[in-house]
C-alpha cells in the first residue's frame, strides 16, 4: 500500500470513531456523553493554557519508564538468550515475578520511593521490562544455529556476535514487545497519576471528573489517546527505519 492510501485510511479511521461517538452522544443525550465536536472545540481552547503541561508530564514519565526498561531489559534478554546458563538461572525468577499484577505493587513502591516521580516511572518500568526481557530472549533463541557458523569460523568474538547478529535479529521482537507493553503502560500511568501529583493526564482527567466538567474530561481523554497514537506511530516508524530488511 502506498503512503498516500495509508494516510487516507488513518484519517478514515479517526473519522469513523468520531462519527460513532457523535451518534452515541445524540442517542444517549446526557451530559456524561458529550458530542465530540464540542470536545474538540474545548480542547482547542484550553490545550495550550491548561492541558499541555499535563501531557508533557505524562509523556516524560512514559519515556523515562520505557528508557529504563530498555536499558535494563535488553542486556538481560540478550544474556538469557545467548548464554544457556544465564537462562537457566534467571528464567525461574522472571517467570515468578512476571505474572504479579504490577498495579498491586503500587502501595509498596509508593511507600518505598515516595509519592513523587520515581514511583510512577518505576511502575511503568516494572510493567514493560518483563515483556522486553522475554521478547529479546526469545528473539535471540529463535536465531538458527547455522547463522552463527560463518562468524565462528572467522574467529568472531562475543562483541562481533552481538553487533552483527544478536542486535539486528532481535530488534523486530523487541519493538513488538514495546508495542504490546505500551498500552498497558499508559493505562497504569493513568492510575498512578491519580495519586500524589498535580500534574499528568491522569490527574487532569480525574480532576475534571470530580468537578463534573465533562467537556474537560473528554478533552483529557482525547489527549491521552493522542499520546498513545504518537507513541505507537513512533514505534512503527522506528521499525520501518531499522528493520526494513524484513519487508523486502
Partner 1 sequence: MIRIKELSVTYKSLGDSCDALRNMNLELSIGETCAIIGPSGCGKSTLLKVLAGIIKDFEGSVEINGEPVMPHKQKIGFIPQNYGLLPWKNVSENIRLGVKIKNKKYAEDKEALAALLQQLGLRGLESRYPRELSGGQQQRVALARAFLLKPDLLLMDEPFSALDAMTREEIQNVFLDVWRKHSVSMILVTHHVEEAVYLGRKIVIMSAFPGTVNTVIDNPLFGVEDIRNHRDFFELCLTLRKMIKEDWSKWEKKQREFGMLPAY
Q: Give contact residues for partner 1 (rule: CB under 8 A).
A: 146-147, 149-157, 160, 164-165, 168-169, 243, 245-246, 248
| 99 or 144: CB nearest partner 1 | 144
| 171 or 201: CB nearest partner 1 | 171
Find the shortest distance in angstroms from Cβ 150 to partner 1: 4
Cα–Cα distance, 112 to 52 (Å, whole number): 30
Find the shortest distance in angstroms from Cβ 135 to partner 1: 17
Find the shortest distance in angstroms from Cβ 211 to partner 1: 53
| 135 or 217: CB nearest partner 1 | 135
* Residues sharing a CB contact under 8 Å with residue 80, sequence separation 6 or more, in sequence order: 86, 87, 90, 91, 94, 133, 137, 140
| 101 or 157: CB nearest partner 1 | 157
Spatial contact of 85 and 148, defined as CB atoms under 8 Å apart: no
CA distance readout (Å), 226 to 86, 101, 220, 229, 233? 40, 26, 10, 5, 10
Find the shortest distance in angstroms from Cβ 234 to partner 1: 21
Cα–Cα distance, 201 to 220 (Å, whole number): 6
| 99 or 157: CB nearest partner 1 | 157
Find the shortest distance in angstroms from Cβ 157 to partner 1: 8
Burial status of residue 191 (CB atoms within 10 A of its CB: 0-12, 13-18, 19 or more): middle
Amino acid at each position: 500500500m502506498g503512503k498516500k492510501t495509508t494516510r487516507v485510511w488513518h484519517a478514515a479511521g479517526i473519522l469513523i470513531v468520531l462519527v460513532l461517538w457523535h451518534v452515541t452522544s445524540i442517542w444517549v443525550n446526557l451530559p456524561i456523553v458529550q458530542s465530540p465536536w464540542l470536545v474538540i472545540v474545548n480542547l482547542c481552547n484550553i490545550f495550550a493554557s491548561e492541558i499541555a503541561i499535563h501531557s508533557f508530564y505524562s509523556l516524560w514519565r512514559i519515556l523515562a519508564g520505557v528508557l529504563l526498561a530498555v536499558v535494563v531489559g535488553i542486556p538481560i534478554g540478550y544474556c538469557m538468550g545467548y548464554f544457556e546458563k544465564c537462562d537457566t538461572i534467571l528464567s525461574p525468577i522472571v517467570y515468578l515475578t512476571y505474572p504479579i499484577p504490577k498495579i498491586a505493587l503500587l502501595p509498596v513502591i509508593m511507600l518505598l520511593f515516595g509519592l513523587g516521580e520515581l514511583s510512577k516511572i518505576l511502575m511503568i518500568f516494572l510493567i514493560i521490562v518483563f515483556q522486553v526481557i522475554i521478547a529479546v530472549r526469545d528473539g535471540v533463541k529463535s536465531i538458527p544455529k547455522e547463522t552463527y557458523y560463518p562468524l565462528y569460523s572467522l574467529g568472531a568474538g562475543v562483541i562481533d556476535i552481538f553487533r552483527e547478529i544478536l542486535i539486528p535479529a532481535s530488534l523486530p521482537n523487541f519493538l513488538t514487545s514495546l508495542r504490546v507493553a505500551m498500552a498497558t503502560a499508559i493505562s497504569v500511568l493513568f492510575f498512578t497519576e491519580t495519586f500524589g501529583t498535580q500534574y499528568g493526564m491522569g490527574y487532569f482527567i480525574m480532576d475534571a471528573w470530580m468537578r463534573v466538567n465533562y467537556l474537560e474530561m473528554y478533552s483529557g481523554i482525547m489527549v491521552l489517546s493522542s499520546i498513545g497514537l504518537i507513541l505507537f506511530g513512533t514505534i512503527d516508524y522506528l521499525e520501518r527505519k531499522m528493520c526494513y530488511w524484513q519487508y523486502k
